[in-house]
């Protein structure tokens, strides 16, 4: 048999049809081509990521995932401690509350007349709608919480704020992502929290004299401190945007801290495992589509990292990946206790 050149790293194997579980299917898909191979290879990276007992795993979340029915999968990943830290848009961790409160999202045709929706007070997310009046009840729940919190006269990071909100929701029986994170002691950061229903709740409470201050520098300091004390860093990105770079910048901060405080040059503490599911493309120059190879140039991803980007709708990838983990019995080797880091360093969670 002819010896293969160094640039060949495996054989493409045609996928036959047989009885197999989703875990086995994902493993075998890594021997296909195109995005099927990418999904299978990403699944293998995740297995390695979860098997590394020295690993702190960050989950970055963007996009309209909760309205699309993905929030219970995200909640499961938190509850099962596949991840140690969540960094999310405000939308994902508010629009799950909408359904957890008992309201429904409804299927519509994406070419529906939006003027008709406006008339009947329904808000559209592509092929899904929600009642605007019910959505306001979700925002009112956030306002109610803010008004109770405001009397403490304290400056909060988003992780502190969402910890308190998770406790509040848990006590009320609203079983959402942040409620699950509160129970699992997984901190949730949201660098653009007010760009969501939280913004409406905070604004309305503010206008009524109930002021809560969110300190974004304090927020980032806490996140970087978790990264500084972690032995190894890894990330899972659903979409891209601000949550992706918020996590990426943890690695850049390690370099700057080493130079400023210890006079150490050329120090890098980069992501060693990283997977991203995104529909964005690299050629537009935006971060959401920026390749994981490009991130190596910044020191954000290690040159030797196990990494894979999959250009796929996350509503396809997440159910397959989560069920593969479940059926395959893939468990986290050692979840990291990062809440204790926050408690010890900043005395934030009481």
Catalytic positions: 300
Residue 308 forms beta bridges with which residues? 275
C-beta of residue 199 within 8 angstroms of C-beta of residue 193: yes
Q: Which of 175, 192, 214 is nearest to 87 (CA)?
A: 192
Angle made by CA atoms 349, 341, 230, in degrees to the nearest 5: 150
Provide the residue count of the chain.
350
Burial 15-49 (b: 16+ CB within 10 A, else e): eeeeeeebbebbbbbbbbeebbbbbbbbbbbbbeb
Using CA atoms, how far apart are residues 170 and 180, in angstroms rounded to an integer?
8
C-beta of residue 85 within 8 angstroms of C-beta of residue 59: yes
How many other CB atoms are there within 10 angstroms of residue 139's CB atom?
21
Using CA atoms, how far apart are residues 24 and 17, in angstroms rounded to an integer?
12
Strand runs labelled E in 142-297: 155-156, 188-189, 213-214, 232-238, 271-278
Using CA atoms, how far apart are residues 248 and 246, in angstroms rounded to an integer?
6
Counting beta carbons within 10 angstroms of the beta carbon of residue 91, is it exposed (0 to 12), middle (13 to 18) or buried (19 or more)? buried
HSE at residue 60, side-chain half, CA atoms within 13 A, is 25
Counting beta carbons within 10 angstroms of the beta carbon of residue 106, is it exposed (0 to 12), middle (13 to 18) or buried (19 or more)? exposed
C-beta of residue 177 within 8 angstroms of C-beta of residue 75: yes
């Amino acid at each position: 048999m002819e010896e293969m050149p160094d640039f060949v790293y495996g054989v493409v194997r045609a996928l036959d049809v047989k009885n197999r579980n989703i875990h086995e299917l994902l493993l075998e898909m890594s021997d296909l081509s195109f995005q099927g191979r990418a999904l299978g290879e990403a699944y293998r990276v995740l297995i390695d990521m979860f098997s590394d007992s020295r690993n702190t795993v960050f989950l970055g979340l963007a996009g309209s995932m909760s309205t699309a029915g993905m929030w219970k999968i995200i909640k499961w990943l938190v509850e099962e401690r596949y991840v140690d830290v969540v960094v999310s848009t405000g939308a994902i961790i508010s629009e799950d509350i909408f359904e957890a409160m008992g309201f429904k999202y409804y299927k519509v045709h994406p070419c529906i007349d939006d003027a008709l929706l406006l008339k009947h007070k329904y808000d559209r997310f592509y092929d899904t709608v929600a009642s605007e009046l019910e959505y306001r009840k979700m925002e009112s729940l956030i306002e109610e919480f803010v008004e109770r919190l405001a009397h403490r006269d304290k400056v909060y990071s988003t992780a502190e704020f969402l910890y308190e909100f998770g406790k509040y929701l848990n006590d009320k029986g609203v079983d959402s992502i942040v409620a699950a994170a509160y129970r699992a002691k997984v901190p949730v950061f949201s660098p653009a929290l007010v760009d969501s229903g939280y913004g409406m709740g905070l604004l309305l409470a503010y206008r009524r004299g109930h002021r809560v201050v969110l300190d974004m520098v304090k927020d980032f300091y806490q996140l970087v401190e978790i990264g500084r004390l972690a032995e190894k860093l890894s990330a899972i990105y659903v979409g891209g945007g601000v949550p992706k770079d918020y996590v990426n910048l943890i690695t850049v901060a390690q370099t700057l801290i080493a130079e400023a405080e210890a006079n150490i040059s050329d120090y890098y503490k980069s992501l060693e495992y990283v997977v991203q599911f995104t529909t964005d493309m690299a050629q537009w120059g935006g971060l959401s589509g920026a390749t994981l190879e490009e991130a190596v140039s910044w020191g954000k991803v290690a040159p030797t990292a196990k990494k894979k980007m999959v250009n796929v709708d996350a509503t396809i990838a997440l159910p397959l990946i989560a069920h593969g983990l479940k059926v395959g019995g893939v468990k986290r080797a050692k979840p990291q206790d990062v809440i204790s880091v926050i408690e010890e360093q900043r005395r934030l969670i009481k």
